[in-house]
Amino acid sequence: MIPRFSLVRPHTLDEALAAFEATGGDAAYLAGGTELLQVMKLGFAQIGTLIDVKRVPDLKGIERRPDGWLRLGAAVTHREIERSELVRHELPALAGLELHLANARVRNAGTIGGNLAFAEPHSDPATFLLACGATVLLASPSGRRELPIDEFVVGPLFTAREADEVMISVQVPPAAAGEGRSYDKLAFFERPAASVAVRLTVRDGAITAATVAVGSVGPVPALVAGAAEALLGADAGGDGLEAAVTAASGALADIEAEADLNGSADYKRHLAAVLLRRAVAAAIREAQADA
Partner 1 sequence: MHELVTIELSVNGVARSLLIEPRETLAEVLRDRLGLTGTKVSCDAQVCGACTVLVDGLAMSACTYLAVDADGRAVRTVEGLATDGVLAPVQQAFVDKAAFQCGFCTSGMLMAATALLEDNPTPTREEVVRGLEGNICRCTGYVPIVEAVLAASRAGDAAGAARIEQGSENSGGAR
Interface with ligand FAD (CB under 6 A): 28-36, 53, 59, 74-75, 101-102, 106, 109-111, 113-115, 117-118, 120, 123-125, 166-167, 190-192
Distances (CA, A) of 5 to 14, 45, 118: 21, 11, 20
Residue 128 touches which member of partner 1, ligand FAD, none, C-beta under 5-8 Å by kind: none
3-state SS assignment for residue 137? strand
Q: Length of the chain in residues, anyone?
A: 291
- Measured CA to CA, the distance from residue 112 to residue 60 in angstroms comes to 11
Residue 41 in contact with partner 1, rule: CB under 8 A: yes
Residue 69 in contact with partner 1, rule: CB under 8 A: no
Residue 59 touches which member of ligand FAD, partner 1, none, C-beta under 5-8 Å by kind: ligand FAD
Residue 2 in contact with partner 1, rule: CB under 8 A: yes
- Measured CA to CA, the distance from residue 41 to residue 49 in angstroms comes to 15
Residue 160 DSSP one-character state: S
Residue 34 in contact with partner 1, rule: CB under 8 A: yes
Residue 37 in contact with partner 1, rule: CB under 8 A: yes
Cβ nearer to partner 1, comparing 100 with 277: 100
Residue 6 in contact with partner 1, rule: CB under 8 A: yes
Residue 267 in contact with partner 1, rule: CB under 8 A: no
Residue 269 touches which member of ligand FAD, partner 1, none, C-beta under 5-8 Å by kind: none
Residue 4 touches which member of partner 1, ligand FAD, none, C-beta under 5-8 Å by kind: partner 1
Distances (CA, A) of 258 to 105, 193, 255, 263: 29, 11, 10, 9
Cβ nearer to partner 1, comparing 124 with 179: 124
Which amino acid is residue 73, in one-letter code?
A: G
Residue 108 touches which member of ligand FAD, partner 1, none, C-beta under 5-8 Å by kind: partner 1
Closest CA to 196 of 215, 180, 179: 215
Q: Which residues ranging from 174 to 213 are in contact with partner 1 (CB under 8 A)?
A: 190
Distances (CA, A) of 86 to 47, 71, 90, 271: 37, 10, 6, 31
CB 17 within 8 Å of CB 164: yes
- Measured CA to CA, the distance from residue 237 to residue 277 in angstroms comes to 14
Beta carbon of residue 105, minimum distance to partner 1 (angstroms, whole number): 4
Closest CA to 91 of 73, 69, 108: 69
Q: Which residues bind partner 1 (CB under 8 A)?
A: 1-7, 9, 33-34, 37-38, 41, 50, 52, 54, 79, 102-106, 108-109, 190
